[in-house]
Structure 1
Amino acid sequence: MNTRKTIILLLFMLIAISLTIIFTLMLQPQTMFLGEEFDVRVINSFRDNSSLPLVIWCTSPQGDLGGRALQEGDDFEWTAKIDLWSWMAEYTCTMKWDSKRKQFEAFKVSRDSNRCGSTKKCSWSVREDGFYFSSDEVYWTKDFSWL
């Protein structure tokens, strides 16, 4: 009899947890799902650095994304795909400009899956005074400085 009560209790708890998960997913339509893809773009938005490019090098959970030297207006972009192995992933870029160097998370699933919006665009404008984020490339918010 004791074993039977334990089994019933465990089944009840399993049903309660399952219903909680289902209702949570239904109430949060922007919840990230495996297989989602996000377009990540880093733009050199300096005003006058034609003789001094912005150097970028990025890595993903799957490995090296590569890099390049960006002149004014140039960009570096990739698609971040959320799979079973990268749902908590970070895509990290190292930026170098003159004597300044900064490593930052260009895409972090836990931070960006909602703020990149329905467009699933995550854009960065790198400027002399810092790094600006936008999901529409119209409105930009400064996230952090070079220092």
Structure 2
Amino acid sequence: MKTPKQIIFLLIIIFFTLTIIFTSMLQPQTMLLGKEYDVRVINSFRDNSSLPLVIWCNSPQGELGGRALQEGDDFRWTARIELWSWKADYTCTMKWESKRKRFDAFKISRDINRCGFTGKCSWSVREDGFYFSSDEVYWTKDFSWL
């Protein structure tokens, strides 16, 4: 026969197990050992002329690769934040005409809160700079090309 302490301990284990299962079901981007963020960089130029926006990105695990984005095209990936490792900065180098800019497309210390509940971190690259949004409705200019 189990003692009251053993029964309480068993109930606590069951409670935490069910909490993890239900949380994973309600928030599919939440992993059992971390969180996932959807990062998207969009070419939002109005007149791209003949030169595309060239993007090349790196993750903590290595290169994500690059693309030449025409007007309206995007480059996207999932940033995984492991609970035991808070090194999850993703950098991208952008090139358009004679302009070149390296920026943090996802920086955990900056974006973990502003990407918020949705887990969306979107960038709209325009002629006058780089705009951020967590819902792709409201955009805020974060910085210019220079």
Which TM-score band applies after superposition, normalised by the shorter structure? 0.7 to 0.9
Paired residue secondary structure (2:82): coil
- Matching residue of 1:120: 119
Q: TM-score w.r.t. structure 2 length?
A: 0.76
Q: TM-score w.r.t. structure 1 length?
A: 0.75
Q: Which runs of 5+ in 2 are unaligned?
A: 1-31
Could you report, residue by residue, the CA deviation over 1:33-90 in whole angstroms, capped at 9, with x for unpaired residues?
Answer: 9520000000000001141100000000000000100000000000000015641321
Q: Which runs of 5+ in 1 are unaligned?
A: 1-32
Runs of 4+ residues deviating >6 angstroms: none
Distance 1:128 1:85 in 2: 39
Distance 2:85 2:141 in 1: 26
Is it true that 1:57 corresponds to 2:56 in the alignment? yes
> Quick check: 1:43–1:125 contact (8 Å CA) kept in 2?
yes
- Matching residue of 1:69: 68
- Matching residue of 1:129: 128
What's the C-alpha RMSD, in Å, of the aligned pairs? Answer: 1.4
In structure 2, relative to structure 1, the CA distance for the partners of 1:85 and 1:61 (3 Å cut) is: farther
> Across the two proteins, how many residue pairs are aligned to each other?
115
Paired amino acid for 2:100: R
Could you report, residue by residue, the CA deviation over 1:8-37 in whole angstroms, capped at 9, with x for unpaired residues?
Answer: xxxxxxxxxxxxxxxxxxxxxxxxx95200
In structure 2, relative to structure 1, the CA distance for the partners of 1:103 and 1:34 (3 Å cut) is: farther
Distance 1:101 1:47 in 2: 18
> Quick check: 2:80–2:88 contact (8 Å CA) kept in 1?
no
- Matching residue of 1:89: 88
- Matching residue of 1:106: 105
